[in-house]
Chains A and B, each alone.
Chain A
Amino acid sequence: MPERAHILLCAGAACISAGEESFKSALERELKEAGIYDEVKIIETGCFGTCDLGPVMAIYPEGTFYVKLKPQDAKEIVNEHLLKGRIVERLLVKEPEQKQALPTINDLPFFKNQVRIALRNVGFIDPLNIEEYIARDGYSALAKVLTQMSPEDVISEVKKSGLRGRGGAGFPTGLKWELGRKASGTEKYVVCNADEGDPGAFMDRSIMEGDPHSVIEGMLIGGYAIGAKKGFVYIRAEYPLAIKRLTSALEQARNYGLLGDNILGTDFSFDIEIRIGAGAFVCGEETALIASIEGKRGMPRPRPPFPVNSGLWGKPTVINNVETWANIPPIIINGADWFASYGTEKSKGTKVFALAGKINMTGLIEVPMGITLREVVYNIGGGIPNGKKFKAVQIGGPAGGCIPAEYLDTPIDYESITALGAIMGSGGLIVMDEDNCMVDVAKFFLSFTQDESCGKCVPCRVGTKRMLEILDKITKGEGTEEDLVELEQLAYTVRNTSLCGLGKGAPNPVLTTLKYFRDEYLAHIRDKKCPAKVCTALIHYEVIREECRKCSICFRNCPVGAIYKDEDGTYVIDQSKCTKCGICFQVCPFKAIKKE
């Protein structure tokens, strides 16, 4: 019986958390009940990118895109869509303004405005089926390099493509490979850095979950180019699903003879091992990563020597990030010129971003370099929820910086973003609206990096601690203007003198918020006010007597018993007991509680 429909069910970590598994079993049950189980094929794919709408699925050949699925929706989908061919309108995506339903996956502005190279297969194929990868040109790039290209040809093609490291620093990939090839020594290694640790970033995880073979093929090509026989994927233990899918992909590739000795009948031999990290943020730094793979404590060391000359066990080692590796096969198949036709003069190709924070479509996108932040936030991300005003976007994770509204038209490329004091980073984009306090945001990111500082060098270990103390003082309303001067000086010292990227990047959130939102710092210091009403020490809650209907909901919900009834039955908040949790503010049905 030939299948008449393919159901692509997103099985990325976000959709699984949202209940994909129970939906799938309900769907299977309903299909059997209707007697059409054999006529349709369910494929569990990697992340579609629309994580906010999960669980999601697309039904082909129509390409109908259903979102926010619950097990009880399965019956209607089977009976209406699959049996009678009637689209279930209520499960389609609604255009936020027009309230119009968008029937197919290609109607969504979220997908229409993307260019998917690294994510070419993610959400389209079954990641556990190597043959679906092969059908989409998978391992053709490997076959091409092994039979038609010398290692030097491969390197020059990658150089010509203009691909730069997608892990954050943006080092030209082809140049790194060339240095690796030229480095002396017969034993060499390639490493895939999958130690993605930025808060709110999940680009690499989604690639490994959705298209693990693209990473494997990229590493094979890299290994051939530099002359390595062995590769390692360094991945954090917090990514169990990615580890599982990658492990099974490696096994399949070995069974098909695409890893191991004499690959595709040539004299090229290569294999890949997974090394699981314990999740220390600093291990994303290449020298710390190397130490960790070697079984040592994950700490960075001064460079040079760079890993391309002295890496794993002192041997030449080329380390690239997941997304960089996934870009390699399409470059080989379609050519450097094709890749370089996307992007800007110095930043070629596309970049994957994880959209998080105050944005309508949180999720995963891939866009050409040079697109503006505005296009990403508004055209693809659907703007800011609840009609709030955009305030800033934190780009590049905790080592990146906050870019304010006046720079929304900045093109996203390595140089433009760096010029604003942020970094491209691995691709986390956290959007903030008027309700975010920028001092609090800086404190959040700095407390993360402070916590993750390995402690080896003094500027990072002690400097970030002192900076955090000053920020803490300011958010409590105890800061002085001298503190700001000291904060800025410390920030520059830490940035200029730390050993590795963690310390060098840690002050960026502080420096950029000081640059673009100094008035907010001053409001905390001079007026003892938090303009966004976030910093708890600087706000208080009060009952508006005229509005209070004496319903007692606030009284019953206060976790610390700080609310009491006065003589006429109106409720009052005892400021000495109030912990400013804000529960009364949220539960009051008459908006009779004010935050100031």
Chain B
Amino acid sequence: MKKLTLEDLKKIKEKTQAELEMRSPEGKDKIVVHMGTCGIAAGARETLLAILDEIEKRGLKNVVVTQAGCIGLCEYEPLISVQKVGGPKVLYKYVTPEKARKIIAQHVVNGQVVSEDVLSTE
């Protein structure tokens, strides 16, 4: 391997810092995918994978994706909630992979809530 220059050191730092972002979840936008048995049966895994894929495609660094269990609204599954830093927590219903991509583009990136899919806002 060739010797590092100052420039290389900076590049490695930036690249790996992005990978380590996950370990400091404070101050980031949060997407929670509800993945109880009901959610999984309704296709929450596909939704989750679509969300991860969309985040990677867009190179979003300030977003963490976590899961949660059933919240008792099984009828509306797959459910996801999106909370931008400092913003309200918005719960979306019937989130198919396509809708998930749209929510990321519109809500997470541009800050516009996708109102037709909202179930409730906290």
Contact = CB atoms under 8 A, between A and B. Distances in A.
A495 B35 CA distance: 67
Interface in B12-61: 12-13, 15-17, 19-20, 22-23, 25, 28, 32-37, 40, 48, 52-53, 55-56
A73 interface: no
Contact of A8 (B3, B23, B37, B56): B23
A62 B23 CA distance: 8
Contacts of A147: 6
B64 interface: yes
A262 B40 CA distance: 56
Contact of B6 (A2, A255, A264): A264
Interface stretch (A133-141, A226-234, A437-445, A543-551): A133-141
Given A62-B25, A85-B34, A264-B9, A258 B4 contact: yes
A134 B23 contact: no
Interface stretch (B66-74, B82-90, B97-105, B108-116): B66-74
B19 A135 contact: yes
A509 to B, nearest CB: 42
A2 B53 CA distance: 7
A87 to B, nearest CB: 9
Given A2-B52, A63-B25, A134 B66 contact: no
B17 A257 contact: no
B1 A256 contact: yes
A523 interface: no
Interface string A526-566: 00000000000000000000000000000000000000000
Given A61-B66, A62-B25, A85-B35, A135 B20 contact: yes
A4 B13 contact: no
Interface in A252-299: 255-258, 260, 262, 264-265
A133 to B, nearest CB: 9
B52 A4 contact: yes
Interface residues of B, number: 36
A540 to B, nearest CB: 57
B33 to A, nearest CB: 7
A485 B19 CA distance: 65
A1 interface: yes
B1 A134 contact: no
A61 B64 contact: yes
Contact of A60 (B25, B32, B48, B68): B25
A137 B12 CA distance: 11
Of listed A8, A140, A147, residue having the most chain B CB within 10 A? A140
Contact of A4 (B19, B40, B48): B48
A2 B16 contact: no
A418 B25 CA distance: 42
Contacts of A63: 25
A382 B34 CA distance: 36
Contacts of B17: 135
A5 B22 CA distance: 7
A159 interface: no
Given A2-B52, A4-B48, A265 B6 contact: yes
A262 B3 CA distance: 9
A4 B49 CA distance: 9
Interface string A1-37: 1111110100000000000000000000000000000
A85 B20 contact: no
B118 interface: no
B10 to A, nearest CB: 9
Interface string A107-143: 0000000000000000011000001101111011001
Given A60-B25, A85-B66, A1 B52 contact: yes
A346 interface: no
Contacts of A139: 9
B9 A140 contact: yes
Of listed A135, A147, A264, residue having the most chain B CB within 10 A? A135
A39 interface: yes
Contacts of A62: 25, 66
B20 A3 contact: no
Given A83-B35, A85-B69, 14 more contacts: A2-B52, A2-B53, A4-B48, A4-B65, A61-B66, A85-B68, A125-B20, A135-B17, A136-B20, A143-B6, A147-B6, A256-B4, A257-B1, A264-B3
9 contacts: A4-B48, A4-B65, A61-B22, A85-B33, A124-B23, A134-B13, A139-B9, A257-B3, A262-B3
Interface of A: 1-6, 8, 39, 60-63, 82-86, 124-125, 131-132, 134-137, 139-140, 143, 147, 255-258, 260, 262, 264-265
